Structure 1
């Protein structure tokens, strides 16, 4: 029996999403294609189109899954970090780093510009929930305004994404740094940034 025939009903759809994460982790968003996902699964190039009409719709399903799973990872990391709001927010950088290193699906995938053309309310619900969660963690650190919460979230995500890019580029290879070690550095950098944000201004 061919691998294609081995998939039934929703199995192929789930397999396509799973293989998409593997491909993103290996080659990134620019080289991501439906044909490459099909080759990875050993099915015909036409098979994915029974579930997704084009690349953007497949990517939308990946985005929804990534937003949901990243939110869960962030909530778990925040819970593990203890009760201090600054520690809980700093944990976002480490959770983001770990997730993107594992899946390749960072915010550049979750909020890919081409997805705005896809009318996928399920994806929108997951992406809203993800951002609401991180904004709530930022607001809990007692920043004075919503705009400052947004700016703080951007900075924390930039820290996590920056460490992810450096790790992918082999920047830490000379020191043989593990994922755990680099994640801890991302959290420490985020914590320093939060402290600086809350430091009293000097007249």
Structure 2
């Protein structure tokens, strides 16, 4: 554990002052302040509006975990998603499951405000930026008849290795965001590289 993660865990339990954090972690004031500033800039910690009772003079600043900070240490997403997909595969045939995943990808783009792009290039840039924010490391490579988008890291990599149909959702995401047909052409033999070919005439 690092001081940063220790601070976040303590603040997820209760609001605390810098002095209290120093005492609980047995570290210096500077060590706590540096990590608090970083956690604040990441939106994981905020200054609490609660003021301690019976305080004389200027009250100390109390820090607390911000809403959404619990997601940082959540590790069940991939396990839950893998099991959910396995359950859906038992319930639906391949085409039905593909339709569900494509609809999911399209809705993901719509809810992110990426549907109905002004033009192909701006839609592609916005979709790649959104994918990068989720953990992908994207690049676009022009090819005959379109553009190949490559993700060198996959936000749902371990799920994709188990259930390759997930890639259809991401292809639909890029299709919705660019307004053009897209298909997945992911490489899974060795290191996972997600690829989506988006049709586009120059």
TM above 0.5? no
- If asked which structure has higher relative contact order (CA below 8 Å, sep 6+), I would say 1
Q: Give the TM-score of the pair, scaled to structure 1.
A: 0.30
After TM superposition, the score normalised by the length of structure 2 is: 0.30
Q: Relative to total residues, which structure has the larger helix share, 1 or 2?
A: 1
